[in-house]
């Protein structure tokens, strides 16, 4: 039995997220099917975490075990040959059984991309959330700073009851930057709640629009209640950017 | 009657090129239909030139006449609202009847993009031609230099007999540059023959692969005969980049 670690990029537009679901086409399933075709073995791929319907990844990490001894590069090439070009295995390596894509991960970084202008070019529209109203990035930065650290993030998850253990998380980074018409929200943590990054982005966008004051960030956080003040930003702007081990 | 000039960006992947054709979805037709829906008038859009099936444009220029007096910006917004996001009108302005998108054009620039690596990311595969074998850019530059200037380009068009007047063209620029794994071929002329840029790119790729020597460029040019030495590079790598007036 050999364990392989793979790094995967994908355009999530046409997929029902990462995780295998009945009657849906998912990233995990596409790769599992390809490996089965090539090796003849039924494999289960373990990702560093799920990404939702329509969310992209620059560098998702996953592992799987197969019995066949194959040159990693040959396996990578074979898989990439039979899957659509909107999913690519970027790199592959043999790892020990001690490595686990989810459990060994130290932290994850997501980036959320907003196009703050009149229109998105045809070459980027799948990857940017369009906000025409000029956003106040200084206010967004101010709100973001209040959310960094170890808190109960119940107010920033789509379903707090889904968490079995706790809704307390450590947000190591929450950064807002502007470069021309592009605004990027970068967030890193050793564990995110369900739809947490899109909830943070949704809230920061409202702050940028002037709909809520940046000072309310702490208040919303302390309320520990998810309300309409925190919308979930669209999936298309979100990328799983980096997993740290 | 008011003439409007528009600048259009499009991802040509899902379209049968620029020009209206029966039973095909083309860029020109999509925009004409949208303007008809908005103004109630049947308009004919005149582009600076055609682009083929699958070819993209960063800045195609076109003009049309309508009787309705509409604020240019309102017309732009309305059109962009009802067409798919893979076509965008980037800018619009009122122009005099003296302006003609094709006839007034002084020169056009196309860019052809090659990804010279193992694989293209899911975010770029629609816009890059993948060539895995490392290309010799110095050889490509050397070949390109021989093709610049006023020549009979019969050997670099898909159908020389299609031209009514002459196959002599002035190639003002033919430049090859590399930036990491990306190789760009930029070509400008006051008039290109049918599939000329993709033929030039196809030939330069063969030179880069070492299949033909750069010195043969002049010989191929002088032969004035299109043969298998000059393949047509895939449409997906080609962008209409700029039209100069």
B233 backbone dihedrals φ, ψ, rounded to 5°: -65, 150
pLDDT, average across residues A100-107:
97
A152 included as an active-site residue: no
| Integer Cα distance of A66 and B152 in angstroms | 59
Chain A residues touching B56 at Cβ < 8 A:
122-123
Question: How many contacts (CB atoms, under 8 Å) link A and B?
Answer: 46
DSSP count for chain A of H helices, then E strands: 5, 10
Judge if pTM exceeds 0.90: yes
| Distances from the Cα of A129 to the Cα of A193, A239, B106, angstroms | 21, 12, 37
State the pairing for strand pair A168-179/A182-189: antiparallel
Looking at residue B194, its pLDDT comes to: 92
CB pair distance less than 8 Å for A9 and B122: yes
Where b means 16+ CB within 10 Å and e means fewer, B170-199 reads ebeebebebeebebbbbbbbeebbbbbbbb
CB pair distance less than 8 Å for B86 and A120: no
Report pLDDT digits (tens) over B95-126: 999 999 999 999 999 999 999 999 999 999 99
| Integer Cα distance of B192 and B52 in angstroms | 13
Q: What is the pLDDT of chain A when averaged over all its residues? A: 95
Looking at residue B99, its pLDDT comes to: 98
Chain B residues touching A119 at Cβ < 8 A:
80, 88, 90
| Per-position DSSP letters for A26-37, written without gaps between them | -HHHHHHHHHHH
Could you tell me the two tokens for B217? 């460029």
- ipTM of this predicted structure: 0.92
CB A226 within 8 A of CB A158: yes
pLDDT tens sequence for chain B (245 residues): 899 999 999 999 999 999 999 989 999 999 999 999 999 999 999 999 999 999 999 999 999 999 978 899 999 999 999 999 999 999 999 999 999 999 999 999 999 999 999 999 999 999 999 999 999 999 999 999 999 999 999 999 987 777 778 999 999 999 999 999 999 999 999 999 999 999 999 999 999 999 999 999 999 999 999 888 899 999 999 999 999 99
CB pair distance less than 8 Å for A88 and B122: yes
| Integer Cα distance of A43 and A37 in angstroms | 10
Report pLDDT digits (tens) over B63-102: 999 997 889 999 999 999 999 999 999 999 999 999 999 9
- Secondary structure (3-state) at A38: helix
Chain A residues touching B125 at Cβ < 8 A:
85-86
Please enumerate residues of A whose Cβ is less than 8 A from a Cβ of B. Answer: 9-11, 56, 58, 80, 85-88, 90, 119-123, 125, 127
What residues of B are labeled active site? 52
Chain B residues touching A56 at Cβ < 8 A:
122-123
What's the gap in Å between the CA of A44 and the closest CA on chain B? 23
Residue identified by tokens 């309310």 is: A216
Could you tell me the two tokens for A4? 């392989």
Looking at residue B227, its pLDDT comes to: 86
Q: Name all domains of chain A by residue range, CATH numbers in brackets.
A: 2-95 (3.30.70.580), 107-244 (3.30.70.660)
């Amino acid at each position: 039995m050999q364990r392989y670690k793979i790094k995967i990029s994908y355009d999530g537009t046409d997929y029902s997220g990462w995780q295998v679901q009945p009657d849906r086409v998912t990233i995990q399933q596409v790769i599992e099917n390809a490996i089965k075709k090539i090796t003849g073995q039924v494999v289960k791929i373990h990702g560093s975490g799920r990404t939702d319907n329509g969310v992209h990844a620059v560098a998702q990490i996953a592992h799987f075990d197969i019995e066949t001894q194959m040159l990693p590069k040959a396996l990578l090439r074979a898989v990439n040959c039979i899957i659509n070009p909107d999913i690519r295995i970027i790199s592959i390596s043999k790892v020990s059984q001690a490595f686990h894509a989810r459990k060994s991960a130290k932290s994850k970084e997501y980036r959320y991309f907003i196009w703050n202008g009149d229109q998105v070019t045809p070459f980027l529209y799948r990857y940017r959330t369009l906000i025409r109203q000029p956003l106040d990035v200084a206010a967004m930065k101010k709100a973001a700073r209040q959310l960094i650290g170890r808190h109960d993030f119940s107010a920033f998850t789509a379903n707090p009851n889904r968490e079995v253990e706790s809704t307390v998380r450590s947000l190591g980074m929450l950064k807002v930057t502007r470069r021309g018409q592009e605004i990027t929200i970068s967030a890193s943590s050793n564990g995110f709640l369900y739809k947490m990054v899109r909830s943070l982005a949704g809230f920061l966008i409202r702050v940028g629009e002037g709909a809520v004051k940046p000072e309310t960030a702490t208040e919303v956080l302390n309320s520990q209640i998810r309300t309409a003040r925190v919308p979930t930003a669209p999936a298309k702007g979100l990328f799983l950017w980096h997993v740290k081990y």
